[in-house]
Structure 1
């Protein structure tokens, strides 16, 4: 397993080496030594979660203020269009986004440091995303920005088939920025 930096500071892409044969494949999905080499404490994750979405569903853009949370995400079934927006006010890439295709062929994992917004769209009939999170969820710190915000201009590849009521009512990026700036001193800076 290897890792590389992305265009957003602290956002890392982990690439395993799947072993395929006539039975299917075997792949390592996490490796303590590789995480340590990337500056991530593998024992720091306190919760694993999984969600399933139908094709076209968008979930996001979600993040946390306060002490926040870091995540290690991967698509265990199907394919996802995954988007990360830097919401760390002191970051040189504040407000910029990066996008990735996560799928069950390449089995990439994406590390999301504290202080970023995250969202995705299911590209296949069903798609499962698995999360490893390093902090217990505190809903008081939730931040949501509208998935179709014109300032973020996220190029969702499919027509959006469904979003949650929470995501439909999310604030604009422009309205979220003052909140992020007020709470920015508590966000963990990018490594």
Structure 2
């Protein structure tokens, strides 16, 4: 597995070794020992999630004020633009973001540590998005930062029209009003 730090070094791009031929491909999508050795982390995942979304759907930017979740995310069908925003108030990169395209063809994964808001925009006709989390989903603790907060200035890829948002994501606050 290849691990590449992003512009925010705690956010990592994980590229598994893929073995392929004319029959198809095989790769280990997760191996705890290999992940810990390659990243230098010692995390335990407690929950796996799977979402399917149509083209133009934007989910996020979500975080939990208690029980913050680290996430290992990947796309098994389609393509997304995945974003992590540092909301660790003591961090030198507080309020900074990184974005990575993830797709079924490149098999890349993104490690989003606890203390980050996370979201993604679906670029393909639909996308199946999988993520492992280091803590359980706690609906009462979940918050959302506005995807289009001008202070963050996230450079989302162009899509036809406005992104499709949930009611929760439509009501999201800008970073400077977010509760941590």
- TM class by shorter-chain length? over 0.9
- Any stretches of 5+ residues in structure 1 without a counterpart? 181-191
Q: TM-score, normalising length from structure 1?
A: 0.87
Find the aligned partners of 1:129 and 1:83 in 2 and give their Cα distance: 13
Q: CA deviation at 1:20?
A: 2.1
Aligned-partner SS, 1:8: coil
Contact 1:2 1:34 in 2 (8 A): no
Is the counterpart of residue 166 in structure 1 residue 164 in structure 2?
Answer: no
Partner of 1:116: 116
Q: CA deviation at 1:19?
A: 1.9
1:172-191: CA deviation from partner (whole Å, max 9, x where unpaired):
11211xx23xxxxxxxxxxx
Q: CA deviation at 1:4?
A: 2.1
Partner of 2:126: 126
- Greater share of helix residues, 1 or 2? 1
- Any stretches of 5+ residues in structure 2 without a counterpart? none
1:130-145 superposed matches below 5 A: 130-145=130-145
Q: CA deviation at 1:51?
A: 0.2
1:1-191 superposed matches below 5 A: 1-37=1-37, 38-41=39-42, 44-157=44-157, 158-159=159-160, 160-176=162-178, 179-180=179-180
Aligned-partner SS, 1:100: strand
**After TM superposition, what 4+ stretches of structure 1 lie above 6 angstroms from structure 2?**
none
Q: TM-score, normalising length from structure 2?
A: 0.92
